[in-house]
Amino acid sequence: MSGFTMAEAIIAAHSKDPAAPGNICGVRVDFAFANDITAPPSIKEFGNMGAKKVFDPARCAVLLDHFSPNKDIASAEQAKISREFAREQNLLFWEVGRVGVEHAFLPEQGYILPGEIILGADSHTCTGGALGALATGVGSTDLAATWALGTTWLRVPETCRVDFEGNPSPWVGGKDLILAVIGKLGVEGARYMALEFHGEGLSKLPLDGRMTMANMAVEAGGKAGLFLPDETVLDYAKARGKRQYSAIFPDRDAVYAKRIAIDLDALDPVVALPHLPENVRPAKECGDMPIDQVFIGSCTNGRMTDIEQAVKILKGRKVHDRVRLIVIPASYEVYNAALERGYIRDLTEAGAVVCTPTCGPCLGGYMGILAAGERCVSTSNRNFVGRMGSPKSEVILAGPMVAAASAIFGRVADPREV
């Protein structure tokens, strides 16, 4: 009998059912959360099924991050429903000013840990795979059932192994790596598969960059994006973890449904052009593509390393007269660290606006919505039609270095041009 992939091994440790690809397994869930958009329908279904108490208040959470601070009456009502349920159930909840974007904030606070099964009512829950957790998004009804029972069912995913060969240049980060993967696989190339990332070059990638990569596994259709927990991850989890946990690894004789390789030595800074994350090309090949806005932030690229990379390019320079630059740190840990290091001032002196931690314009929320005919370079994760505003606008996905360089030149730019 062959060994387990990482996804199979984690499911096997949480289930009595055989964890073979394609099997349906009942699993114990370690942590389950929703946000201000997905919590209200979860709360409604929680009541409809007759549930009275969440299975463990210390393992259930609601985070207000998509429309916080509230932008209108509707978002205020959503937040009120979420807030009242959290208080009634005594589950984990953080008020505006003390929270952040869920997929950045929860790992920082030690609620996403190696070897665990994490469910979130948000598609980018797969970010937790950077810490060696099987983290995946579910619908609000499934989330409600998990809050009630502490268990769910999962179809065991097949696994696509991604081997990164060589070492990335200083101008290439996690966003470039995952866009290269999506460019190779396509947006459906890993549908319901777990992506398992390997390669010596990844050991030099900061944890922030790994979170970017795990975050966008879903953009290739993936169920999860998994990194083997190395010393960097284990040190992070040990320092922050709120629970006991056990790291889980794939077996040496694991069988993979698909394998691809990415040559890091040959990888340039890249972008994904409208209107799919698979439309990947080197930034230097975009020619004169003028832009109106740059957004640096989101659960994909709003962490400390991302802000730092952007500042290194922007410091002492000015944002192009035609461009507005919006920077949104993903958490107050990031915001305060950027404040202490002088990065906030560097950004505002360059001509950026820096906002409170929130999802902002990523999902077409607010604080940077696009009008018809406008084009934005964004460090977020999706560039579908109408994603950030008007269906006649365009979004180009990029890492923070490409985004910062583009803000300076007023067009899509390779950071090596600065």
Query: What are the sequence ranges of the domains in the chain?
Result: 6-261, 271-417
Q: Quick one: pLDDT at residue 1?
A: 63
Residues 6+ apart with CB under 8 A from 271: 179, 280, 281, 282, 283, 286, 377, 396, 397, 398, 402, 412
* CATH number of the 6-261 domain: 3.30.499.10
Mean local confidence (pLDDT), 41-57: 97
DSSP state letter for 306? H
From the number of C-beta atoms within 10 Å of its C-beta (0-12, 13-18, 19+), residue 230 rates as: middle
Of 389, 388, 390, 413, nearest to 400 by C-alpha is: 413
Q: 271 has which bridge partners?
A: 281, 398
Given a cut of 90, whether residue 21 has pLDDT beyond it is yes
Mean local confidence (pLDDT), 120-146: 97
- With tokens 């030690």, the residue in question is 110
The token pair at 4 is 């387990």
Q: Which region among 1-5, 44-48, 223-227, 375-379 has the lowest average model confidence (pLDDT)?
A: 1-5
Measured CA to CA, the distance from residue 13 to residue 140 in angstroms comes to 25
pLDDT digits (tens, 9 = 90+) for 143-191: 999 999 999 999 999 999 999 999 889 999 999 999 999 999 999 999 9
**Could you tell me the CATH superfamily of domain 271-417?**
Aconitase, domain 3 (3.30.499.10)
- Residue 2 binned pLDDT confidence (cut-offs 50, 70, 90): confident
C-beta of residue 330 within 8 angstroms of C-beta of residue 356: no
How wide is the angle at C-alpha 164 spanned by C-alphas 159 and 166, nearest 5°? 165
Please enumerate, as own/partner, the contacts of 25-28 that have beta carbons within 8 Å and a separation of 24 or more.
25/153, 25/154, 25/155, 25/156, 26/151, 26/152, 26/153, 27/117, 27/151, 27/152, 27/153, 27/154, 28/117, 28/150, 28/151
Mean local confidence (pLDDT), 87-105: 96
pLDDT digits (tens, 9 = 90+) for 228-246: 999 999 999 999 999 999 9
Task: Please give the share of the chain, as a percent, with pLDDT higher than 70.
Answer: 100
3-state secondary structure of 27: strand
Q: How many CA atoms lie less than 13 Å away from 155 in the CB half-sphere?
A: 10
| Strands 24-28 and 151-155, sheet pairing | antiparallel
3-state secondary structure of 162: strand
Model pTM?
0.94
Mean local confidence (pLDDT), 46-74: 95
CA distances in angstroms from 213 to 158, 202, 278, listed in the order given: 19, 11, 14
Q: Quick one: pLDDT at residue 172?
A: 95
Same fold, 6-261 and 271-417: yes
Mean local confidence (pLDDT), 280-284: 95
CA distances in angstroms from 324 to 202, 360, 363, 369, 407, listed in the order given: 33, 15, 18, 12, 8
Of 99, 205, 126, nearest to 381 by C-alpha is: 126
